[in-house]
Chains A and B, each alone.
Chain A
Amino acid sequence: MELENLKSAWVSLDKKLEKSALFNDQLIDFIVNNQSLNTIEKMKKQNQWLFLILIVELLALGAILVGNPFDFNYAVQYLPFAFLTIIIFIAAVRLYTFQKRMNADLASHPLLTAIQNLLNYFKENKSAERWFGIISLSIGFLVPWSFLPQKIERYGVVRGILDIVIMLSVTAVIYFLAFRFGAFKNRNKEKLEQYLREWNELKALSNQINNV
């Protein structure tokens, strides 16, 4: 059988499909809700993964503090790692409470209100988040100094300090690249804001359909 013969069967399909029901407001509502829930589900999963990573980091830092794998000789060498442990612990707690709050909001409020609440949370905590970020990054610059005594012992004062400066430069470059590529942006907030915009637009569409 030739394809050309079957083409007419395909063209006749339009008549059948044109008899289907018109799109209605319920359908648009469903699509809006489903889209938003998918966004939030993705965010929740990302947070769960991030939480897991923080726990692994805490365990690794705990092992460093307890097991001394770098052969630190002075208590002060542990300080940057202790600060790092504290800051990661705080980050894990904050993430956990954020997730809990998000779940509670979603369970007790309509979706739109829950999203608005989350955006308000981001807004209220903007300054705290900023300081938390600055402190975290500063601690990153302290960590290389923990290795200074061993470096001096092994290579002498000048080369030891030079080694530390190189490590600090690498850290600075990593931070710069991370900043440049938007690693410090609150993508969750951006996604929710974008979603809220789309929601309002689609809601307007839904209302329009209701009025037709």
Chain B
Amino acid sequence: MEKDFLDILNTHRPLLFKVCHLYCDRSEDREDLFQEVVLQLWKSYKGFRHEAKVSTWMYRVALNTAITYFKKSKKEISSFSGWPGYEIPDFLDHTEPSDQLSQLYLAISQLDKIDKSVILLYLEEKSYEEISEVTGLSHSNVGVRINRIKTKLTNLINK
């Protein structure tokens, strides 16, 4: 079971990085959220019955954790230093902030937490049904939200 969990984690690690990036700007916060997501995944893995797709389950746990995640105080973080040097890759090209990905990321960062999760799943080319399953929004609500978010993002990018 442990080996399977690790395999799943490694196979889907881009998913984890994307969620952490979308919800945290600072690398320390990303590390913190990453830890929390891995723990929550492990805790819920025992009850995961493979009825849903692995990626759907992972998105659900990761996004729920990110949405309900509260930053720990600075004091709490600094007292547990010793991050083992594992680098959560920074997917933005800081030398070229005008590239397409940076523009998209900056626009998404201005959305609220729920809209962020919806647009992430949309960008990942998930079906409305899957988005609905992960977020708990109704099928029609997903469609309406995506249209609104797309308009909002287009406006933000073209500003």
Task: Point out residues on A near B: beta carbons under 8 Å.
Answer: 1-3, 5-7, 9-11, 13-14, 16-18, 20-24, 26-31, 33-35, 37-38, 41, 198, 201-202, 204-205, 208-209, 212
Contacts and interface: CB of A to CB of B under 8 A. Distances in A.
A34 B154 contact: no
A6 B154 CA distance: 10
Contacts of A212: 3, 6
Contact of A18 (B14, B84, B153): B14
Interface residues of B, number: 40
Contact of A205 (B5, B99, B103): B5
B105 to A, nearest CB: 9
Given A27-B86, A34-B35, A10 B2 contact: no
Given A5-B100, A198-B43, 20 more contacts: A1-B157, A3-B153, A6-B104, A9-B100, A9-B101, A10-B104, A11-B123, A14-B14, A17-B14, A23-B6, A23-B10, A23-B86, A24-B84, A34-B35, A35-B39, A38-B76, A198-B42, A204-B2, A205-B2, A205-B5
B18 to A, nearest CB: 7
Interface string B77-102: 00110111111010100000001110
A7 B103 contact: no
A3 B79 CA distance: 42
B125 interface: yes
Contacts of B72: 38
B9 interface: yes
A198 B72 CA distance: 21
B68 interface: no
B158 interface: yes
Chain A interface, >50% SS class:
helix
B97 to A, nearest CB: 14
Contact of A30 (B42, B83, B99, B124): B83
B14 A13 contact: yes
Contacts of A2: 154
Contact of A10 (B17, B85, B101): B101
B123 A29 contact: no
B42 A205 contact: yes
A20 B87 contact: yes
B89 A7 contact: no
A20 B13 contact: yes
Contacts of B154: 1-3
Contacts of A21: 86-87
A14 B84 CA distance: 24
B29 to A, nearest CB: 14
B83 to A, nearest CB: 6
Contacts of A27: 84, 86
B150 interface: yes
A26 to B, nearest CB: 4
A106 to B, nearest CB: 12
Interface in B135-159: 150, 153-154, 157-158
Q: Which of B42, B72, B82, B158 has the most CB of A within 10 A?
A: B42
